[in-house]
Amino acid sequence: MPFIDICGAIVADTTYVNNVLAAKDVEATLPEVAPVAAEVQAMGTMSLPIWQLIENMELAITKIGVDKGLRSMITPETQSLEMRFVQNVTDANGITKQKGCKAFFKCVPTKIPGIAVTVGEASSNELTFTVMRYQLFVDGEELFLVDRLAGIVRVAGTDYTKTMNSLL
């Protein structure tokens, strides 16, 4: 039976806005990629995913502090965000290594967050973005690319919109 590497803790991350460092050690929830479901009749009703149509994708980042990094992240314009994060991975020999991950986004902020100010505590601000393009690499290998404006859904090297786009 083949061994699958065991992914451990995320040990560090950085966030860049338009290629400029904006934050370190943020908490983030990367977008869920969910296809639109179509109802078909097959011994009753069955829902099947349509991978050429994707539901709204949202990125959420919790950033500590009120600074220029926050200012760059809330600018109400389409922006390029890059998140880099490092995770510990243990292989079949019990050796733990660190693997780099990179997520690239073309997105627009959905709001300017309310800023909590409490004496003796750091200001924690949740930012949300509507994502138009999302690409994820792990250890230099692309896992997937979803580009809503270009009409591309590529997972593990297979373009699931290629046939549809060739017919248009």
**For the segment 47-86, what is each residue's pLDDT rounded down to a tens digit?**
999 988 999 999 999 999 999 999 999 999 999 999 999 9
Architecture of domain 6-167: Roll (2.30)
Considering the entire predicted model, what is its pTM? 0.90
CB 105 within 8 Å of CB 26: no
What are the distances in angstroms from CA 80 to CA 57, 71, 114, 135?
15, 14, 23, 12
**For the segment 15-29, what is each residue's pLDDT rounded down to a tens digit?**
999 999 999 999 999
**Distance separating alpha carbons of residues 57 and 63, to the nearest angstrom:** 20
Looking at residue 25, what is its pLDDT?
Answer: 94
Query: Residue with structure tokens 């990629």?
Result: 33
**For the segment 83-125, what is each residue's pLDDT rounded down to a tens digit?**
999 999 998 888 899 999 999 999 999 999 999 889 999 999 9
Tell me: pLDDT of 2 over 80. Answer: no
Comparing CA positions, the residue from 21, 27, 25 lying closest to residue 73 is 21
Q: What is the largest CA-CA distance in the chain?
A: 62
Looking at residue 1, what is its pLDDT?
Answer: 66
